[in-house]
Amino acid sequence: MNRAQEKIVDRLIEAMERGIIPWKRPWFMPTNAVSGKSYRGINQLVLSIGEFADPRFVTYLQAEQLGGHVRKGAQGFPVVLWHFPTAEEVRNDPNARVWAKGYTVFNVLQCEGLTRLAVLAKTEHDSVSAQSIVDDWADKPRTEFGGFRASYNPTMDTIHMPEIEKFRSTEGYYDTLFHELVHSTGHSSRLNRESLRDRQQYAVEELIAEIGGAMLCAEAHVDNTELTENNAAYLRSWLAAVRNDKTMLVKAASSAAKASDMVMGRNQQGEEPLDTTPEAQLTAAA
């Protein structure tokens, strides 16, 4: 884990110690205010802990480009930019390699005078219905209904779900179903995720399903914030695991992004997707 990633994980642990569950934030899809691209993976988690009403973020330079500046004393958020060599770069330089760079971003509400910032329209981040996410995934496993337990069986490639009427809320049903759908992306015929096969990596696989399911909830505007009955105990269990292995959050968030992209039918990005806009690469974190 590089220094930029470690800064992000430390920030997430700090938030969890304050009782914030980074992946339980519905309707919030953090994006870059200049490029319009969504932040993914571990970046999506760290930018979701600020409780801002506006999901857009900028670097210092981007704030100036938008006619304003970052408010004095504002605390920024560490983000990591990944670069994966293109085929042309590899042809020109056989030694071209993946690199990561840390930088700092601020929410637009932490800025002043952004005269060139467009008004955030309610339709700017269109969502899809929760059921359409399920229906539109062509490669989804078979789902069987009945009983009172939800699970995914990788041997049979089958999800088992209680009927929707047995859930206290529709949100609870889809939060649970999305969790199991994310598990199913790890099947050998899909992403072939080692953590799904290896019982010693059970905690990692569960965290992938937790985060990936929450990402799908955000896509469908499903409010998953009230679904954990005992948040304190829930957080304590994850804090213990994350403190023991700080790479867990990075790995889980990256795998969760791949999983949610697969369910949504998006191209697989592989780790954190690159924001290729020049503005995104100009401000490195101290």
- Amino acid 101: pLDDT: 86
Q: How far is CA 17 from the centre of its chain?
A: 19
| Token duo for residue 75 | 């605390």
Backbone angles phi, psi at 57, to 5 degrees: -130, 155
- Amino acid 95: pLDDT: 84
- Amino acid 226: pLDDT: 67
pLDDT tens digit at each of 286 positions of the chain: 788 889 999 999 999 998 888 888 756 789 999 999 989 899 999 999 988 989 999 999 999 999 999 999 999 999 998 777 788 888 888 888 877 789 999 999 999 999 999 887 654 445 579 999 999 999 999 999 999 999 999 999 999 999 999 998 999 999 999 999 999 999 999 999 999 999 899 999 999 999 999 999 988 888 877 655 556 778 888 998 999 998 999 999 999 999 999 999 987 543 343 333 333 333 332 2
Q: Are the CB atoms for 162 and 149 separated by under 8 Å?
A: yes
- Amino acid 27: pLDDT: 63
- Amino acid 274: pLDDT: 34
Backbone angles phi, psi at 49, to 5 degrees: -100, 0
- Amino acid 19: pLDDT: 86
206: Cβ contacts below 8 Å, ≥ 6 apart: none
- Amino acid 269: pLDDT: 47
| Token duo for residue 203 | 């905690």
Count CB atoms within 10 A of the CB of residue 66. 20
**Amino acid (1-letter code) at residue 94:** P
Q: Are the CB atoms for 48 and 22 separated by under 8 Å?
A: yes
